[in-house]
Structure formats: C-alpha cells, structure tokens
Chains A and B, each alone.
Chain A
Amino acid sequence: ETGVTQTPRHLVMGMTNKKSLKCEQHLGHNAMYWYKQSAKKPLELMFVYSLEERVENNSVPSRFSPECPNSSHLFLHLHTLQPEDSALYLCASSQEPGNGYTFGSGTRLTVV
C-alpha cells in the first residue's frame, strides 16, 4: 500500500446506474487529484482539490462529480456514464506542487 487507498478496485455499472469511487490518504497531504487512464492514452487530469477546495476542472463532463469533504477523503460520483468512460481511475495526493505525487492502485471501471 502506498498510503493512498482506493475503493472499489473493480466496478461494473450500467449506463443508468449511480455509483461512487472513494479515495483516502493518510499521508497528511493537502492536495488530491483524480486522473483517468484509458487504453493507449497518457493519464488525463480530471479534478484537483487543494485544502478541500476545487482548483482545477479540465472540462470534464458533468456526469462526473467530485466531492472532497476533508483533506483525507476524495470521492468521484458517477451517473449516466457512457461505455467510453470505461477506464482506470486513479487517485493521487501530494503535499504541494513540487513534492511529488503518490498514487493509489486505481479503480477499474467498466460501463456496460
């Protein structure tokens, strides 16, 4: 374990379902991130939270909704997803820009 824990590890959901991904870090970091990794594509930044406030949203569709209730927890709420949203979703944290990122093991999402 890296100190960043993601659950569930695998998720299969229908296009009309609502589900949530969870990320938890106990490293004392102040920033948390959601990344999407699709096959044969570089990692794409989705959301960034610093001190529980969202600081960046890279034009992600509204069917993805992040939530950061405190500096240790980050959620990604999913609803009415499309099959092309199937990917590995990775959570990361860092103390601040420049101190390096720690990643979780990811959630493998399949939309059917």
Chain B
Amino acid sequence: KQEVTQIPAALSVPEGENLVLNCSFTDSAIYNLQWFRQDPGKGLTSLLLIQSSQREQTSGRLNASLDKSSGRSTLYIAASQPGDSATYLCAVNPASYDMRFGAGTRLTVKP
C-alpha cells in the first residue's frame, strides 16, 4: 500500500526566503505526482503535475522535482511571499484511481 509522507508538518519563514518542502512515497511504481495548495476551509488548487517520465516541472516561482527511484519529490518556492501561506499537499497517482495524499505541510510566510 502506497504511503505518502510530508516533512515538515509546519514551517514558518520570513518573507523573501527560498524554501523546500519534502514529499516521500513508499512505492516507486507511480504514474505521476501532483502538488496542490489548500487555503483554510477551501478546496485544493493544483500547482504542478509531474509525469513519471519527467524529473521536474516549473511554474513561476515554483519548481517541483521527482526522483522515482528514491521515492522523493521536493517543491521549491523562491522568494516566498505572505500570500504563499497555505497548506501544501503532495499526491501520488499509482496508475489507478486511488491517488494517495500526504498530510500536508502548513506554511506561514511572515511579512
């Protein structure tokens, strides 16, 4: 059974810092990995989708990497802003419909 772990559970940084969020998964046989952002009480917003054949994806200040063999993905956020404060979720798709989610990293960026 696929297990997804996100470290750290919470992170607080001053504005302007570059930061890295970590995601690890136990079964490397995945179809893709997706990073989401969730604001309190709201739904999930897709940030980046990495297919199993890809090593990274970039969107603006965000860069996500994928190392299937080691079961790891990182989300890099450059020049963090208070508006980046949210919970970031990593989800792994094992080529079935049962996408597995991590518990998330709650990020606070202080002005």
Contacts and interface: CB of A to CB of B under 8 A. Distances in A.
Interface residues of B, number: 26
Most central of B95, B97, B102, B103 by chain A CB within 10 Å: B97
Interface stretch (B13-21, B44-52, B69-77, B78-86): B44-52
B93 interface: yes
Interface stretch (A64-72, A76-84, A100-108): A100-108
A20 B93 CA distance: 28
Contact of B93 (A2, A40, A97): A97
Contact of B103 (A6, A42, A48, A88): A42
Interface string B33-69: 0101000011111100101000000000000000000
Interface residues of A, number: 29
Given A42-B102, A43-B101, A108-B41, A98 B46 contact: no
Q: Which of A40, A45, A55, A98 has the most CB of B within 10 A?
A: A98
Contacts of A2: 43, 45-46
Contacts of A55: 97
A108 B98 CA distance: 22
11 contacts: A2-B46, A40-B103, A42-B101, A48-B97, A56-B98, A97-B31, A98-B51, A98-B93, A100-B34, A101-B91, A105-B42
